[in-house]
Structure formats: structure tokens, C-alpha cells
Amino acid sequence: MKSHLQNHPLNGIKLNALLTELVDHYGWDVLAGQININCFTSYPSIKSSLTFLRKTPWARQRVEAFYLYQYCQYPRPSDEEHTLPPRERTIDMSAGRGEPAVLTVDDAEFFDDPASGPVFPSKRQVLATQTKSKQASTPAHQPVSRRATQSESAGSGVDVTALDEQTEMDANVETAEEYVTAERVSSADTVPPAETGTVDPWAKARTKLTASPQGDEAE
């Protein structure tokens, strides 16, 4: 055995004891959320899980990595160490073993190297993101622009140009009518008022008749 593996945290720990320790501390639900493999999600038990892990190296290595970096809280591996199985990696034990990570069923799935593995958001993070998206997608009240009206009318098959021309013509007609009305009022104000009293239409004729006998006498 290599010298750096003699004091390895996994040295001398059997898979049965390791798995039992994890299940006793976290329970099957949290363990299934952290390590998504069938033996933890479908009717889990120590016996069935050990049978699967002993026949499936990649699954066993995920459990061992979880034990090292989440349960024992040892420093995460370097890129070079990450290419090796957990039992063959060099573990920095100078800081000693830490307290187990506090985990819930809502926490993201565990990967021993988050930089190279996918990190899934928790349900709480997903809910917060959805709430922000809904708030951002709710439009503020804004006046409808002519361009927006044209777009809506174009979609409904209405000729926007004809509507604009008709509106402009109606406005011009109203302006002309107001101008004519104002002119009429102004003209009426400048006409002098008619003389009051009774007008005799036969006044001139009566004057001539009165003047005629005087002319005859003069001759």
C-alpha cells in the first residue's frame, strides 16, 4: 500500500459500516436526494443497497465521495485527484475531520467536484426564480403608442392608414364649421341695428300729391 493511503479516512472502513453510518445520520430520503441512484429511491434497505453498490463501482465511488466531502467535511479534491477513485485520492487531514454537513431533501444533488458536475438548484431556489420571472414579465401600465395600435390593427385586417385619414378629415371639417360659425357671429355684431318705429310706405307719394296743387296755382 502506498504511504499516503495508510492514513486514508476510508482505509479499514467496510462499505457496510460506511453506508449504515450515513443512513443513521441522514435517513434514506436525504441520501436519495444527494445521491440519486435506484437503490436509495425505490424501497431502500441496507441489504439491497450493498448488493447494488458492490456490483456497481461508479455508484460505490459516489457514496464514498459523499462520505468524505459531505459527512466528514474533508477538503474537495483537485482536478488531478478527482480523476482517481475516492479510496486512492490524497486527503488533506491536517485540519482534521469536520462536522457533517446539514442537509435537507430540498438541497441540490451532491457531486464531489461541482466545477465538473452539474449542480441542480433546490426547490426553494426554483420557486424564488419563478416568482422573480413572473414579476419581471408583468408589464407596467403604459399608454398605447400609435405603432402598437398599427400592429394590432394590422393583425386584425383593419387599414390603419385609412382610419388615420378619416380621422384627420373629420378634424378638418369640425375646424371649418367652427370658423364659419365664428364669422357669422362677427358679421352679426357689425350690422347696425334697424330703426325702431312705424314706417309709412306711402309717405313719398303723399308728399308729391300735396306739392302738385301749389305748382298749378303758381302757373
Q: At what angle do helices 146-156 and 160-190 cross, to 10 degrees?
A: 120
Average pLDDT over residues 83-105: 88
Look at residue 46 and tell me whether its pLDDT is greater than 60.
Answer: yes
Give the per-residue pLDDT at 117: 46
Give the per-residue pLDDT at 6: 61
Cα–Cα dist 174/171, whole Å: 5
The per-residue pLDDT of the chain, averaged, comes to 75
How is the chain split into domains, by residue range? Answer: 3-124
13, 27, 117, 172, 182 from 179: Cα distances, Å:
103, 89, 80, 11, 5
* Cβ 117 vs Cβ 44: under 8 Å: no
Cα–Cα dist 15/86, whole Å: 13
Q: What global pTM score does this model have?
A: 0.51
CATH code: domain 3-124 is: 1.10.720.30
* Cβ 163 vs Cβ 153: under 8 Å: yes
Look at residue 87 and tell me whether its pLDDT is greater than 70.
Answer: yes
Look at residue 74 and tell me whether its pLDDT is greater than 70.
Answer: yes
Look at residue 214 and tell me whether its pLDDT is greater than 80.
Answer: no
